[in-house]
Chains A and B, each alone.
Chain A
Amino acid sequence: MTRASATAAPAHPRGGRRAALGALAAAGVLLLALAISIAPGLYMLSMSFMDNPQLFAGRLVAWPLRAQNYPEAWRASDIGRLYGNSMIVATVSMVLTVAISAFAGYGLGRIRFAGRGIVYALVLVGLTIPLQIALIPLFINLRSLGLLNTRLALIGPYTGFGLAFGTYIMKGFFEGLPRELEEAARLDGAGEFSIFARVMLPLTRPALATVAIFLFLQNWNEFLFALTFITEGAMRTLPTGIYALLSSEFYGNYPILAASLVLFSIPVLVLYFLFQQQFIEGLTAGALKH
């Protein structure tokens, strides 16, 4: 059975004009949605090249461009070091979480075991519980373990909370896989782990990529724990460093803030783009055409 990597436009010539109209309508909707989606982002980009008088005069497009905002933002928020910390914390948590979620999601999605309902409830609770509530108990715990102001202080909770999300999604995708595949593999004499790793897992690549991206994004943007568990400059992650600009000497200087936020957002966008190309389309299309 092949997996869909793309649904091509109907090959039938039937109702050719209707198809063309349909395609036009589709393109129209897409373009409108795109415009609405990225207009604010474009404005932010524009803002990052303005200076304050331009901004307060209500301009939409920056002119002349003030590119110095970028190096200034870089320096003001000490982004270099913050990038490093955020990268490490976000990536390690993401990898750990994806790995564990794949297993946990498979278990929840395909294996019937006692207490399955309870574990699922636990996952849901993990998804729902507001972070502010977990703040104080986690802080007290981390403090007694001596882990405050270390990267582990973030990696641990990020993995834990990320697990709820990752497991939930993977469970959903694993559940959707057809029984026949599993049975066929079993007939072939494959062991449980083999079935999981060789047959089921590869089919959920899009889901894995999606989970990875979202986890990375969540960890990259996470603010409350980063602010509370890490108060020493050297270990800080991006959000705290950048949001501190809000009330720093650049108070009220939205162009610089916008520049730093553009710098902040780029890695995730690049990552998503690459995942699109390499991970989902590249590997999936190639690997599964037999």
Chain B
Amino acid sequence: MVPAVAVLAAFLLYPIGYSLWLSFHEWSGYTPTWGPFVGIANYLALARDEVFWKATWNSLVFVIVRTPLEVGLGFLLAILLNRKMPARALLRTLFFVPVVMSLIVVTIIFQRIYEPNTGLLNAMLRGIGLGALAHPWLGDAVTALPAVIAVSVWKNVGFSLVILLAGLQSLPQDVIDAGRVDGANAWQLTTRVIAPLMRPILALTGLLSIIGGLKVFDLVFIMTRGGPTYSTEVLATMLYRQAFELNEMGVASAIAVILVALVLGTARLQTLLVSERDEARA
């Protein structure tokens, strides 16, 4: 146990401490030593920056929309896939394909789907007579974020699915059998017996999804680079730009620290909510 913590600490504490300390300094990233100590100036600058608030808002929207969809759909599929059926292992592997697919290809493919003139989505809409809905999905500040979130959900449902499936496979069979003997149908079985048993795993998957959503970078960066007009700018893309385009490593570190604080806060909230429910049940 102790050596495990030691390894964790060695590889994680150092970058974290480094970032925290760096967030109180100014640094372009080009010089071998940091710039001057500026206290909380970086944090103040962020507070005054409307792009920061936009990015925070976008990140929150991203999480609030994506997580329920991802975990909900994942759970549904996990239950469906947990039955005896032909080619079960093959089916499960197929659902895992989006997770495995390289982001480069995913973005290329969805770019083709979303393109306004010849893209598959608009072509389909026109084909069924809904041409009026045809839209420059990634080029319009209003539809860009939902479009990117849709891709993220598509790609990550498999992720939640695999974890929840593992959870289902670990459930005590006798409790479920008891429920069935009592005459519960599939729906009741799922909501009254399985879901409560799965709560810790659902919470775990949910938190992972939230963390992933707050941290999301590659997908957004490659698809839209945070545009148009910051409509898809999230905390991680802002961090990247501050660090590597605007040469503000201190500000970038401050964003990282804020991100971590957000996650810790969410986790604490989740623990509180879950344990409250446990107490209520008892």
Contacts and interface: CB of A to CB of B under 8 A. Distances in A.
A1 interface: yes
Contacts of B264: 121, 124-125, 128
Contacts of A22: 186
Interface string A137-177: 11001000000000000001101110110011100110110
B73 to A, nearest CB: 7
Interface string A88-120: 000000000000110110110001000000010
Contacts of B92: 276
A30 B12 contact: no
B256 A122 contact: no
Contacts, number: 264
Interface in B1-47: 1, 3-5, 7-16, 18-19, 29
Contacts of B13: 122
B109 A163 contact: no
Given A6-B83, A129-B256, A265-B100, A100 B7 contact: yes
Nearest to B11: A160
Contact of B211 (A29, A38, A128, A156): A128
Interface in B122-167: 154, 157-159, 162-163, 165-167
A40 B204 contact: no
Interface in B207-260: 208, 211, 214-215, 217, 236, 239-240, 243-244, 249, 252-253, 256, 259-260
A161 B5 contact: no
A190 B157 CA distance: 41
A19 to B, nearest CB: 8
B169 A284 contact: yes
B9 to A, nearest CB: 7
Interface in B143-197: 154, 157-159, 162-163, 165-174, 176, 180, 183, 185-186
5 contacts: A44-B105, A104-B1, A124-B211, A163-B4, A268-B100
